Chains A and B, each alone.
Chain A
Amino acid sequence: EAGVAQSPRYKIIEKRQSVAFWCNPISGHATLYWYQQILGQGPKLLIQFQNNGVVDDSQLPKDRFSAERLKGVDSTLKIQPAKLEDSAVYLCASSNSYNSPLHFGNGTRLTVT
């Protein structure tokens, strides 16, 4: 089966600019996650979707981050405006049910200068 697809692979922006990341989960996977992985650390959950509804966004900095999953398939994560500390790899993951292991994409490496 095809894996989780993410784009772009790399993005370099200046602080205060905006950026968007796209994720296409594994076909049929109802649950989608966005994780932030800062260099040297493990992934940290930003937001979890079940179909097109948000299950958990408690760690999403909502003043600058937003995410949507229209039609319960693809998802986009946006940062506006970006800060230097947002430099990280943004990983998308999906699972076929709420208690199944996650399958990760290769991530988008964001550098904010």
Chain B
Amino acid sequence: GQQLNQSPQSMFIQEGEDVSMNCTSSSIFNTWLWYKQDPGEGPVLLIALYKAGELTSNGRLTAQFGITRKDSFLNISASIPSDVGIYFCAGHSGGSNYKLTFGKGTLLTVNP
């Protein structure tokens, strides 16, 4: 089956620093999504990307859909303590059912 490699597995940064994480796939995706999961809660959608090369921002978050359609990255600028959580990438390769494949997540810790 399809696999997503998400890196880094964890990050430990100081408040105010910028953060970058990425996801690569062994196959082409038509949609890339980035979710954040806080402890005890379900994943919450941050950004959705639908087109190769697309660059989309949501506040301090910026994500890009790679030109090859096999990768995506998420940047967080000027991190704050509430950015702490697990960030997941997810991809959809098309088809009549919307079957998402998730990465294993990046655990972000922000030191105040």
Contacts and interface: CB of A to CB of B under 8 A. Distances in A.
Given A4-B42, A101-B33, A101-B48, A42 B88 contact: yes
B43 interface: yes
B45 A103 contact: yes
B42 to A, nearest CB: 3
A94 to B, nearest CB: 11
Contacts of A105: 42
Interface residues of A, number: 25
Interface in A61-93: 91, 93
Contact of B42 (A41, A99, A104): A104
**Interface of chain B, main secondary structure:** strand
A55 interface: yes
Contacts of A102: 45, 98, 100
A14 interface: no
Contact of A106 (B40, B96, B100): B40
A50 B100 CA distance: 15
B105 interface: yes
B74 interface: no
Contacts of A4: 42
21 contacts: A40-B105, A41-B104, A41-B105, A42-B4, A42-B88, A42-B102, A42-B103, A43-B43, A43-B88, A44-B102, A45-B100, A48-B97, A48-B98, A56-B97, A91-B42, A93-B42, A98-B97, A99-B98, A100-B98, A102-B45, A106-B40
Interface of A: 4, 31, 40-45, 48, 50, 55-56, 91, 93, 95, 98-107
Interface of B: 4, 6, 31, 33, 35, 40-45, 48, 88, 90, 92, 96-100, 102-105
